[in-house]
Each structure stands twice: as structure tokens, then as C-alpha cells.
Amino acid sequence: MARLELANVSKSYGAFDAIQNVSLAIEDGEFAVFVGPSGCGKSTLLRLIAGLDPISDGAIRIGADDVTRRPAGTRSVAMVFQSYALYPHMTVFDNIAFPLQMEKRAKADIRQQVERAANTVQLTTRLKDRPAKLSGGQRQRVAIARAIVRKPDIFLMDEPLSNLDAALRIEMRSELTQLHKTLGATMVYVTHDQLEAMTMADRIVVLNGGKVEQVGTPMDLYHYPANRFVGGFIGSPPMNMLAARVLGNGAFDVAGVGQVVMPRLGRKLAEGVAVTLGIRPEHLGSDVAEGGFTARIMPHNVERLGAQTMVHARIDDQNFTCVLSGDRPLTQGEAITVGCKADRIHVFDESGLTVAK
């Protein structure tokens, strides 16, 4: 297994800069997840690491080797695609064995490797079947086993669970986490699903417009988003964003809410400065009496989920969501007061950067 290092990596398609000056290191044995909205460059970055596309600028190192100019087949990586990319006319055994057969390995060696990989992904009873007879989850496990037999330094996975239904995705999520522990492998995993990123990653790389917005553990990103984009992207339902202005008395003025107590911040904000307040829906309660943010809202939609009650309202033309714990028999159009403590409020400055606490 090996460390992966990207140094000032850029990729352009004609005049379009798909990846812009990305530098990051993924440690040996780490499970790193690239996450971001559609078109942010996640798959492009993975393809550059795999060597499937040439990079325009920068360097890629795997372990001690500079692989920047090395063609795909000669890098010690194995890629698993969303589409599985299995050969339909071959059995599961032959699909898994394919990379070893290309290397002209001895038959007994191939059998041993295939059986071991099939055992890891729980497919030993299906080795004689063709892919058409397998479920989506089983097909993806064949693709993963085919990657395992290559014993790569790094596994690259491009949205491998997107073709599976919701229940199977959850099951496969924990299987992949387990597989990572079993193999101790370095894994780079691409998804647009922040929940997948949160549940699987050791560290998440948030991409946006071909640039890295933030790199950190899931809880780093949740508790300490570096900027407004990360604050809004990580967490579900998304963080509420409210436009606000700094008042002379040190509080915020929020249209449709009134005065909001300012959390303790690392720097002083001048009177009149425009900021955005970020408040997570799950940090709001209907019984918050002391300080911070308090608003009277009129729900236009109430979703009772049993364990939680999701309340959707508008505050001065801005959508606002609260996740209240437990089942609350609220009705649409019945005003409620919600609030959170000041230290739960995230403050983003005019350029979208977090004002540190």
C-alpha cells in the first residue's frame, strides 16, 4: 500500500479548467472520499490519478514513484466503476481472474487468488454464474474482487454504489468500510452523496469548480466548515443560511427575525458589515429560552417522521428548515418559536469564509 500525493495538479479541456492547482496527500491506508456537486471535477481527478487522462500540469506521486507520465496500466492502482464494467459472456470466476490471466500467471496461483478475493467479498458460491444472474450489489462485488486480485497500492472507486437501490447502498457502504479495514488499503472514493462521504471516509476532500474547498475528517467538516460552501454542502438537510448585518451593540440584525446574539468570535466585526449566519436544522429547538437565535416561524410544510419532525418555513423570503427531535403534532400554518444557542451559529463573512470562533 502507498501514500498518494498530488502536487499542483491541473487539467484543462481546451479553454475549460476542469481541475485547478490541486495539492493534497492521501496517507498510506487511508480511506479518502472526493465529494462535491455534479461537474466539480471528482471523476476527472480520479481519472488523472489512474492515468486514464493525461494531466495538464503538476505531478502525481504514488509512494516514492513519480507516476505523472506513466501510462494507466503501469501504475499500481485498480479502478472500480459505477457501471461495474464486467464481461457478460464470462463467469464470475473468469471476470475476477481476468487481470491475472492477462499477466499470464500460473493456473493454480490464479485459482488461489480468485478464491481468496471471492471469499473476501462473499461470492464463493457464485463463481460459476454469469453476471446476468447476479444482483446489482453482487455485480459490484465481482468488480471489487477483480480489483482486489491485482493487489494494487491504491484502490480508486468512482461512484461504485450509485446504481444500487437505497437499502443495498446502505448495506454496501458498511461492507466497503469493512473491506477497507480487512485490506488495510489506501482507497480513494468518489461520490456526490455527502452522506456516503460522511459515513465512509477517514478524510473528505470537498471539491467545487475544480478546486479543493476543504480537506478534513467528517466531523471537522461538520463542526468547522472553512467556508459557506462546505457549511452548506456537508450536513443533511442543509444548513440554513440567513443574510445578516452587524449592529453597533455587537448583535446581528436579521431581516424577518430581529436581533440575534453574536457568538464569541476570533475577530471583531465592524458595524454595518454584511455576513451570513449558518444554522444547522438539527441545532434548532422549540424550547430554547436563553440567548442566541430565536425566531417565530409559520410552517408551510410539516413532515412527521416519528423520530424527528421536519418543519419547513420561510423567513423573509428565505427557506428555513428545522429538525425537531421526536414526533411533534404540529400543523401547517400554526406558528412556533424555534431557536438555538449563540455558540451553534456559524458566521460567514462577505467573501464566504468562516469567521473563526
18 part of the interface to ligand ATP, by CB under 6 A? yes
**Helix (H/G/I), strand (E/B), else coil: 113:** helix
- Binds ligand ATP by CB under 6 A, chosen from 6, 31, 33, 41: 41
15 part of the interface to ligand ATP, by CB under 6 A? no
Which residues, 6 or more positions from 134, have their beta carbon under 8 angstroms from its beta carbon?
92, 126, 142
Return the closest-CA partner of residue 214 out of 194, 242, 238. 194
In the bound state with ligand ATP, the residue whose beta carbon lies nearer, of 192 and 328, is: 192
In contact, 21 and 211? CB cutoff 8 Å: yes
Smallest distance, Å, CB 13 to ligand ATP? 3
Alpha-carbon separation of residue 279 from 261, 312, 324, 345 (angstroms): 13, 14, 13, 5
**Sign (positive/negative) of CA torsion 123, 178, 235, 37?**
negative
In the bound state with ligand ATP, the residue whose beta carbon lies nearer, of 39 and 326, is: 39
Binding to ligand ATP (CB under 6 A): which residues in 110-169? none
Binding to ligand ATP (CB under 6 A): which residues in 173-212? 192
44 part of the interface to ligand ATP, by CB under 6 A? yes
In the bound state with ligand ATP, the residue whose beta carbon lies nearer, of 16 and 289, is: 16
Smallest distance, Å, CB 14 to ligand ATP? 7
Helix residue ranges per DSSP H, the chain: 42-50, 92-102, 107-120, 136-148, 166-183, 194-200, 218-223, 228-233
In the bound state with ligand ATP, the residue whose beta carbon lies nearer, of 43 and 194, is: 43
- Binds ligand ATP by CB under 6 A, chosen from 2, 22, 31, 42: 42
- Binds ligand ATP by CB under 6 A, chosen from 25, 39, 298, 303: 39
Backbone phi, then psi, for 24, in 5-degree steps? -165, 160
Determine the interface stretch with ligand ATP among 38-46, 218-226, 277-285, 331-339 (rule: CB under 6 A). Answer: 38-46
Cα(275)–Cα(245) distance, rounded to whole angstroms?
6
Angle at 241 between CA 239 and CA 244, to 5 degrees: 150
Smallest distance, Å, CB 161 to ligand ATP? 13
Determine the interface stretch with ligand ATP among 24-32, 37-45, 273-281, 288-296 (rule: CB under 6 A). Answer: 37-45
In the bound state with ligand ATP, the residue whose beta carbon lies nearer, of 1 and 234, is: 234
Return the closest-CA partner of residue 190 out of 52, 282, 61. 52
Cell readout for 322 is 428545522
In the bound state with ligand ATP, the residue whose beta carbon lies nearer, of 58 and 63, is: 58
Tell me, by CB under 6 A, how many residues bind ligand ATP: 12
Smallest distance, Å, CB 150 to ligand ATP? 23
In contact, 284 and 315? CB cutoff 8 Å: no
In the bound state with ligand ATP, the residue whose beta carbon lies nearer, of 41 and 152, is: 41
- Binds ligand ATP by CB under 6 A, chosen from 13, 128, 301, 343: 13
Question: How, if at all, do strands 203-208 and 77-81 pair?
Answer: unpaired
**Residue written as grid cell 409559520:** 298
- Residue ranges in contact with ligand ATP by CB under 6 A: 13, 16, 18, 36, 38-44, 192
